[in-house]
Structure formats: C-alpha cells, structure tokens
Amino acid sequence: MSTPGETAGETVDSAREMLPDNSFLIQYPHVSRVVRSLFLTAFVAFGIGAFMGVLQALHRTGVARLVDSADYYTLLTLHGVLLVIVFTIFFLAGVFAWANTRSLDRPPVSKRFTWFWVATMSVGTAMAGIAILAGLIPSTDISADVLFTFYAPLQAHPIFYIGLAVFIIGTWLAGIDWFRQYLAWRRENAGERIPLQSFMVLTTMLMWFIATMGVAVEVVVFLIPWSLGIMPAPNPLLTRTLFWFFGHPVVYFWLMPAYLLWYTVLPKIAGGRLFSDPLARVVFVLFLLLSTPVGIHHQYVDPGIAEGFKFIAMTNTMFLLLPSLLTAFTVVASIEHGARQRGGTGYFGWLKALPWRDPAFTGMALAGLMFAAGGFSGMINAGMNINYLVHNTIWVPGHFHLTVGTAVALTFMAASYWLVPRITGRKLYSRPIGLFQVVLWFIGMVFMSAAMHRGGLAGIPRRTAEPQYPQVTFETVAGSVSSLRLQLAFGGVLLFVSALLFLMNVGLTAMNNKPARNLDSALPPALSGPDQSPTVLDNLKLWALIAVVLVILAYSLPLYSIVQGAGLYPAGQEASPAVIAPLLEVIA
Amino acid sequence: MSRLSPAALLVVGAFMVPLFIELPVVLSFVGVDLPMPVSLGMGVVTFVLVLVWSEVSQSPDAADA
Amino acid sequence: MHVHNYEKLWLGASLLLIVGFISTIVYGAAGAGITMVNDEGGQVNPQELGNTSGFDDPGVTKVGPNEYEVHVVGIQFAFQPSTMEVPANSTVTFYVTSRDVVHGFEIVGTNANTMVIPGEVSKITVEFDEPGEYGIVCHEYCGAGHHSMAAELTVTEPSNFTMQDDTQTQTGGNETTNATATPSGGESA
C-alpha cells in the first residue's frame, strides 16, 4: 500500500507567490507546515487502515480469504488502531492547529514545543504500530493481537502499551500548546469573547484531558507493569471499566472536529452563515459535561456491575443525544440559509440551490445525513434492554461505521478538499473525482452498514474471522445471510476504491503546480452572534469543574464496588498469550 | 439540454441507493417478500428513467434543433 | 440569550424524545421485567473452577419443580459443556464464567447475551417458550481461534425431557407452547 505523499513544501515556488497576503499559508507558513505533516501521517494511516478493512470485509464474508484466519485479528487490530487512533487524531490535531491559529489570529507560542508534541505523537504511533505488525512475523515474540480495546488478560508486548502511553502524552502536550496559544491571546484581548473555533478546540481538549485519565491509569498503572512482568495481572473488569471511561468520550473526540467543521466551515461553503453562535457554544459545553460519565453503557451486559450504575449511565447517555439533536437543527438551518442566499426558494426547493458540485459540501452533507442514521442505531444501543439483542453483534460495527466511519471520516475527507489547498497553496487536483469519491463512500457505506445492521439483528457476532459455525443458524428478517455477506463485501470494496481515489486526489493536489485561487480563510459571522449569549458560557474553568464532579459522581461508586468485588489483583488471572515469563514467578 | 447536471444525477442516484436497499426490509413488515436483487434492479430501472427524463428535453426549441 | 422560536420547538421535541426513550426502558425493567446482568453472580478464582461448586461439573442441574441451572465455562476456544439440553417452558438460569480471557455468551436469535469475564460470574435467567435448536457463540474476541468457539443448546418438549445424569424426572411442565421462543420478558428477535 503506497500513499502519495505531500511534498515537504519548504521551497517557495512560483505558485505560492501568487497567493493573496491574507491567506492562511502566507500568514502562518509554520502552522501550515505542522498541519501538512499531521495530515500526511493521518493519510498514510488511512490508506493502510482502509486496505486492512477491505481484507476483512472479504475475509469474514468468505468471498476471498487472503490471510490465515488466525492472522485476521492482527489485521483487525491494525485496522482499528490506525483508523480510529492514528487517522482521526492526527487529522483532528491538524484541524485544531489550523482552527485555533485562524480564529485567535496568532501563532502558537513556541515552534519547538509544537514540533515536540508532533514528534511525541509520532513516536508513540510508531511503537504501537511496530508491536502490532510484528504479530505477523512468527519468528518474533512481539505481538499485540489485542484489538483496539486491549482487554486484559489478553496481553500485548510492552512496546504496544508504552507506545499508546507516549501517544496519549503527545495529545496532552498538543492540548497544552493550544491552551498556551489561547492564554497569550487572552493577555492581549482581555474581556473579549473566545472566538468560536478556539472555544470548540478548548472545550474538546478539556473533555479529552478528563477522558484520557481512565486509559492513562489503565495503561500506566496496570498494563505496562503487568506486561513487563513486574506486577501481577490486574482485575479484568476494572481495566475494562477504565478503558470504557476513555472509550466512549474518545468517540466525541473524533466527532467534535467534525462538528467544528460543520458549524464553521460548512455554512460558508453552502454560501451562508452559522445560524446561532450561542447554541454552538452550548452544544460544546454539553459534550464537555456529558461525554465521560456514560462509559458504562458499553458494559450493560458486564457481570459485576450493579443494575443501578448501568441505569445512571443510560440516563446520561440519553441526555447526550441533546447536543447532537441541537446540532442537526443548527447545521440544517445554516445550510438552508446558505441556499436561500444563493437564490433557493420553496419549502424543499432550496435544496436544489446548494453547491452539490463541490465535493467539500456534498461530502459533509452526506456525512451529516449518515450521522442521523448512525444516531438512531446508537439510540438502540443506548437502550439498556434492547441492547441485549445487538450487543457485540455485527450491528455494532454497522453503527460505528456510520458514525466514526462516515460522519467523521467522510467529513474529514470532504474538509481535506477545502483545507489542503489552504495549507499547501495548491489547487485541488480534481473536483469531479472528489465529488465522485465522496458519493462513492456514501453508497459503499449504505451497502456495507445496512448489511451489518441486519446481520447483527440475526445475531451474527462482530470481531470474528469466520462467522460461520456448524452449530448455529442465523435467521434474517428479510433476505438470506449469504446475500447479506455479498452486500457487505461489495460495500467494503466500494469503500476501498473510494479511499484510494481520495488518497490519489489529495496526493496529486499536494504535487499540483497550479496555484489555488480564492483562498479566503475568513469565516462569516453567525446570524446570532456571541454577544447575545451569557458570558458564563466562556467560563471554561467552571465547566471543567462541573465535568469533573459529574465524572466522580458517575464513576466513584462503580469503581469502588468493582475493586471491593475481586480486588485490584485477583488471584488466578493469567496472561494470554503467555509469551513473556512473568518476572514475579522467575523470582519466586 | 439536460434537466440535471452530471453532479445532480450522481447525488440523486446516491440517495436512491438506501431507499432500494431498505425497501425489502420495509416490505417484510407488511408480509411482502421482495428479494434484494429485484429491489436493486427496480432501483436501476428507476435511475434509468430519471436519466431519460433528464436527458430527453421536452422544450420545443431543443426538439427543433 | 436569544433563541429562535423554531429552535425552542426543536429543543422541546428533543427533550420529549429523550424522556420518552428513558420511559420505555424504565417500563421494560419494571413492567416487562427485563433484568440486567448485574453483580449477583459474585466472584470466583478462574484457576480454581475445578473446586468451585457448580463449575467443577459444568452442565444442567435441576433445582426446582420447573427450574434448572446451567453452569458454563468459557475457555480458549470452546464452551464447557459444548452441548446442553433443557425443557421448554421452564426457568433456566445460566451461570457463565471464564477460565482464561474475556469471552462472550450469546444464544443466537434471542436476547440472552452477556460478557464472560474471568473472575466474575454472569447470571442470566431465561425462559424458552418453544422447543428448538439454538446456537451459542462467543461474541468477544478471545484469541487466534475465537471464530471456532460455539456451543449448542437444545430446548426439548417437556414430555420428552430427562436429565442426562440425574434420576429426577420432569413433572408438571406446561404443555401449551407460545408462538415464539424468547427469553423472559424479551422482545422477539
């Protein structure tokens, strides 16, 4: 899998000299370089991850089995980690670096610090990636076939956990960088409202600081010492719970940059303005407050957790629907405003006035539409008792391929068509290919995700190389299981073709010698501006404090009762695979 | 003179895909068994009709030309 | 703070939807009686299952006039026992645990579904209304052979059911069968 890279961009070519003085690239050449570097890593990860994805779609449906079924799980680990950790987070770091700089209109405080966190994230990624890939080489003892969730007592090589920890620290440093940039702005702009994009970056990073506490404790306190053989195996239920403490808010960490793009960039592309700045702030505050105290909804069917705790998580989860429902209103209203500015009329006639030829618009609009579908299947998952029907069936990957796999990934791809020319100064290689590519992603995902949801209702499990068992017959509501398999594989192939077209288009853009035109990075002000909202919305300390209190309320009792149950290091837990001789036993 | 641009045709075609994929499921609730290939085939036919409607103009000027 | 009227309407409708969802779940728990997997199962030492009552001899035991217990142990990459038989129209309580890593336990086509975590015991109570063959799959990745981990559950007519290793005979089973085989309080799959 080779991915067309971006040129380093150090040389000032003739194309760049033709850019207007107020373009982002001319004003912030250094930040542009940081963003290019982050995007490059994101796109390489996307290419490899997408290739793993099509291998799995063909393998589990039995259409073509190119690898051994035992190796399927190595590919699945790679698919999960590369796409939802590396692609999403490197890309959003690029978006945030761009958005924070653009909206504060000042560069980060220290260039060296910025490159330091980029390097930290990259080193962590490389370590975890090497550990996973080594699983394909039988002659090494190194492996990390533990999937994205790395549930103990399945064990990975220490380098995998250490890489994860280093990566998370890199993201913290990135957050600190953006806060320093904001504080420097604040010193020069006392009493001003935080610019909207910066507000979104800061609230999202506060949420991330809180959320990653769970996985940091899990990895640093329990899994690294255990994998090194210094400490015994931890309580599997405890580490699961710490994982999901992080594992649900991480989905909002992926989604918030997509929301940032929908709220700030999409209205501009549609020809209009954001409907309401205050409501956008309310939405991001709600995500900061409610993203973390819901993680137990991933553990509805876990033993060892009382029903009451699950019920609290369920209630919080349902209220977490609110900011997304509000977003649906604001985004559609902003797009409609844009369409009417462009001459659209009628109840639905305005839809025709939208810039459907623009891949950035069409991609984001289709992503938003699929997010609505993904949101509804998510409500089923959130329903504590209906969840029994679908828990850990392929319904669940069907759900999150609509959310992170389309709402987030397709928005990122569409935004790339808008953003990459702005950070490279080069003209988009092909708009028609871009349009075809985003529509193909939509069609491929409709095929694949619909088949997954329906397969899940029939009880077909997820995360399985061969979901074909002699003992089991799966009964579908409509159509046959074999037709669902074909549908899934077909959708997967379309998605892979779409991913290749995207990488090709972006790669050729990065090497395009034609200068980009009309590189206006200014975003129009909202119809209802921030001056109409109470200033308490900008009190980040207050919201962070409330968020922490909510997390303590939601998690202290469940964690206490889990530790009371089996203890921190219960007897009789053994690592699998047993590759590394535990140091304790060697000593004893 | 086309009624729909290639981009519009692409988007309209894309929106038809989920409709014809979900049609057999919706019909199964009212007891109608529509095989998936038939449903997708109906989708293709519908798209061709849209294509024809788009490309065959009714305007007299175009007919004369 | 200015909020547009349509926006207020939308906000109200959204809150109504959310409260509606929560109400249906409360009704499911209180009215229809769907209980969640919870902490009732207690804890065990995964290496000492051979000395733990119930898990020392996994399988079906009769505990009441029409009540059965099934102890199941998940190991890489099988369920013990690999076949189980219970009568229809009885109350069956599964106790499931793992000897090694995290597994899953799903009776395909029903809403009997739980995680299986080493050291913890999952307890789920199920009622099968209709005789039939059910597949059981492990739905959580548990290692390189995960895809071969499955078992079989047979629900027989109460009149034909005899305990395999027990002299107790089945009496008093309700002969009428409902339309679908579903676990207690569940929606049909």
DSSP symbols for A468-480: --TT-----SSS-
Q: Which positions in chain A touch B37 (Cβ < 8 Å)? A: 483
Instruction: Give the gap in angstroms from C-alpha B26 to the nearest C-alpha of chain A.
Output: 9
Q: Is the pLDDT of residue A444 over 50?
A: yes
Residues of chain A contacting C111 with CB distance shorter than 8 Å: 385, 388-389
Average pLDDT (C137-145) is 96
Rounded to 10 degrees, what is the CA torsion of C154, C157, C160, C162?
A: 50
Instruction: Identify which of A195-204, A524-533, C49-58 has the greatest average pLDDT.
Output: A195-204
Mutating which of A376, A410, A446 best tests the B interface, going by the most B Cβ atoms within 10 A? Answer: A446
Cβ-defined contact of C1 to A533 (cutoff 8 Å):
yes
Mean of per-residue pLDDT scores for chain C: 85
Q: Least CA distance to A451: which residue of chain B?
A: B21
Closest C-alpha among A388, A331, A431 to residue C105: A388
* B21 to A450: CB separation less than 8 angstroms, yes or no: yes
What is the pLDDT confidence band of residue A16, given thresholds at 50, 70 and 90? low
Asked if C113 and A389 count as a contact pair (C-beta separation under 8 A), the reply is yes
Instruction: Please report the pLDDT score of residue A393 as a whole number.
Output: 96
Q: What pLDDT is recorded for position B61?
A: 53
End-to-end CA distance of chain B: 10
* Residue A537 DSSP label: G
For B36, phi then psi, to 5°, come to -55, -45
Say if residue C126's pLDDT is above 80: yes
Pairing label, strands C132-137, C150-156: antiparallel
| pLDDT confidence bin for A14, thresholds 50/70/90 | low
What does the CA dihedral C15, C17, C22, C24 come to, rounded to 10 degrees? 150
Across A508-512, A581-585, C120-124, least confident range: A581-585
pLDDT at C168 over 70: no
How many interface pairs between A and C have CB atoms less than 8 angstroms apart? 241
Chain A: give the shortest CA distance to residue C172, in Å.
30
Q: Please tell me the predicted confidence (pLDDT) of residue A588.
A: 46
Closest CA to A489 of A53, A18, A43: A53
Strand C83-87 to C78-80 pairing: unpaired
User: Percent of chain A scored above 70 by pLDDT?
Assistant: 95
Pick C21's closest partner by Cβ from A318, A392, A457: A318
Q: Which of A43-47, A312-316, A508-512, B53-57 has the lowest mean pLDDT?
A: B53-57
Compute the nearest-CA separation of C133 from chain A (Å). 9
Record: contact C101-A329, CB cut-off 8 A: no
Q: Which residues, in sequence order, are bridge partners of residue C61? A: C69
Shortest CB distance from A357 goes to which of B7, B13, B35?
Answer: B7
Q: Which of B2, B10, B12, B28 should one mutate to test binding to chain A, selecting the residue with the greatest count of A CBs within 10 A?
A: B10
Which of A356, A439, A479 is opposite residue B24, by nearest beta carbon? A479
- Of A73-87, A155-169, A514-528, C82-96, least confident by mean pLDDT is A514-528
Distances in Å between the Cα of A414 and the Cα atoms of A252, A265, A418, A491 are: 19, 11, 7, 20
What would the DSSP string read from start to end of A200-242?
Answer: HHHHHHHHHHHHHHHHHIIIIIIIHHHHTTSSPPPPHHHHHHH
CB contact under 8 A, C117 and A276: no
Name the average pLDDT for chain A.
92
Please state the rounded mean pLDDT for residues B49-53: 93
pLDDT at residue C86 is higher than 80: yes
Interface contact flag, A276 C7, Cβ < 8 Å:
yes
Query: Residue A447 is nearest to which of B21, B34, B35, comparing CB atoms?
Result: B21
Q: Do chains C and B touch (3 or more CB pairs under 8 A)?
A: no
Residue A447 has pLDDT above 80, yes or no: yes
The contacts of residue C151 (CB under 8 Å, 6+ apart) are A471, C72, C78, C79, C81, C82, C83, C84, C135, C136
pLDDT at B64 over 50: no
Task: Indicate the Cα dihedral angle A292, A294, A296, A300, nearest 10°.
Answer: -160
Residues of A with a catalytic annotation lie at 248, 252, 399-401, 462-463
The two structure tokens encoding residue A160: 């995998």
Question: Is the pLDDT assigned to residue A472 strictly greater than 60?
Answer: yes
Contact A447 B17 (CB under 8 A): yes
Burial A266-275 (b: 16+ CB within 10 A, else e): bbbbbbbbbb
Q: Which two tokens stand for residue A98?
A: 């761009």
Which residues on chain C are in Cβ contact (under 8 Å) with A464? 139, 141, 146-147
- Which DSSP state fits A8? -
Q: Which of B2, B9, B25, B44 is best to mutate for the A interface (most A CBs within 10 A)?
A: B25
Q: Given pLDDT bands bounded at 50, 70 and 90, which one contains residue C179?
A: very low
Chain A residues close to B34, C-beta within 8 Å? 478
Q: What mean pLDDT do residues A457-484 have?
A: 91
Mutate one of C23, C37, C79, C138 to test the A interface: name it (highest A CB count within 10 A): C37
Q: What CATH code would you report for A25-587?
A: 1.20.210.10
pLDDT above 80: residue A15: no
Q: Which residues of A touch B25 (CB under 8 A)?
A: 454, 477-478
Contact call for A572 and C41, based on CB within 8 A? no
C/A Cβ contact: 3+ pairs below 8 Å: yes
> With an 8 Å Cβ cutoff, are A566 and C120 in contact?
yes
CB contact under 8 A, C6 and A235: no
Is C137 or A471 the better-scoring residue by pLDDT?
C137
A357 to chain B nearest CA, in Å? 6
Token pair, residue B19, equals 């409709």
pLDDT score of A577: 84
How far is the alpha carbon of A386 from chain B, nearest alpha carbon, in Å? 19
Contact C25 A326 (CB under 8 A): no
pLDDT of residue A533: 84
Interface test with C, best of A305, A392, A462, A569 (most C CBs within 10 A): A392
Around A318, how many Cα atoms within 13 Å sit in the side-chain half-sphere? 21
Cross-chain residue pair B10–A443, CB shorter than 8 Å? no
| Whether C135 and A469 lie within 8 Å, measured CB to CB | yes
Identify the pLDDT of residue B59.
57
Chain A residue with minimal CA distance to C98?
A573
Contact between chains at A572 and C112 (C-beta distance less than 8 A): no
CB-nearest partner of B21 from A356, A436, A446: A446
Q: Which residue is closest to A322 within chain C, CA to CA?
A: C14
Residue of A nearest to C40 (CA): A304
Residue C181 has pLDDT above 70, yes or no: no
Would you list the domain boundaries of chain A? 25-587
The answer on pLDDT for A192 being more than 90 is yes
Residues on chain B touching A477 (C-beta within 8 angstroms): 25, 28
At A321-334, the pLDDT tens digits run 999 999 999 999 99
Contact (CB<8Å) C100/A379: no
Using CA atoms, how far apart are residues A37 and A487, in angstroms rounded to an integer? 37
CB contact under 8 A, B36 and A483: yes
Partners of chain B (3+ Cβ pairs below 8 A): A
Min CA distance, B33 vs chain A (Å)? Answer: 7
Q: What is the pLDDT of residues A396-439, one digit of tens each?
A: 999 999 999 999 999 999 999 999 999 999 999 999 999 999 99
The ipTM is 0.89
Nearest to A78 by CA among A45, A41, A54: A45
Nearest CA-CA distance, residue C119 and chain A, Å: 7
The half-sphere exposure of A464 on its side-chain side, counting CA atoms within 13 A, is 30
**Per-residue pLDDT, C172:** 37
Average pLDDT over residues C15-23: 95
Cβ-Cβ contacts under 8 Å, A366 against chain B: 14
What pLDDT is attached to residue C120? Answer: 96
What integer pLDDT is reported at residue A22 of this predicted model?
A: 81
Residue A581: pLDDT over 80: no
pLDDT of residue A13: 54
Q: What does the pLDDT look like over A545-578, one tens digit per residue?
A: 999 999 999 999 999 999 999 999 999 999 988 6
φ/ψ region of C178 (left if φ > 0, alpha if ψ in -120 to 50, else beta) reads beta
Quick one: tokens of C51? Answer: 């000395």
